[in-house]
Amino acid sequence: MAFSPMEEEPTRMGRETRRTLDDQVQRREAAGVDVEEAHLRMGGVLEEILAMAEDLGAGVVVMGSRGRGGIRRALMGSVSDSVVCHAHCPVLMVRK
């Protein structure tokens, strides 16, 4: 059975993304962090973060911020700003 490039690409991306997630979990556990759950979702970043928070009944969303300047953020938008505005619960921003 042959697959078109459009069918193969999401599968390859999914495998690579899963490997990256698994690697990050292993790194955290090696550093002494207890990782209870890891979730992989594909789709729009903002929509998936908000949906995951709702699905889990999260009491707080903790996320990093790149700390882009105001002009760059205004032009390009910011996922973290959008999560703050649309999340059903408090959002804790962690900066480098």
- Residues 56 and 14 placed together within one structural domain of the fold: no
Q: Are 55 and 92 in a shared domain?
A: yes
**One domain for residues 59 and 30:** no
Domain that holds residue 24: 1-36
Give the pLDDT score at 14.
Answer: 87
Q: Do 61 and 82 reside in the same domain of the chain?
A: yes
Q: Compute the C-alpha angle 76/18/42, nearest 5°.
A: 45
The number of distinct structural domains making up the chain is 2
**Are 54 and 90 found together in one domain?**
yes
Tens digit of pLDDT per residue, the chain (96 long)? 454 555 566 688 889 999 999 999 999 999 999 999 999 998 899 999 999 999 999 999 999 877 666 666 665 568 888 999 999 999 998 887
Residue 1: what pLDDT?
42
What was the pLDDT predicted at 90?
A: 97
Would the pTM of this model clear 0.75, i.e. be above it?
A: no
User: How far is the C-alpha of 77 from the C-alpha of 93, rounded, in Å?
Assistant: 16
CATH number at residue 95: 3.40.50.620
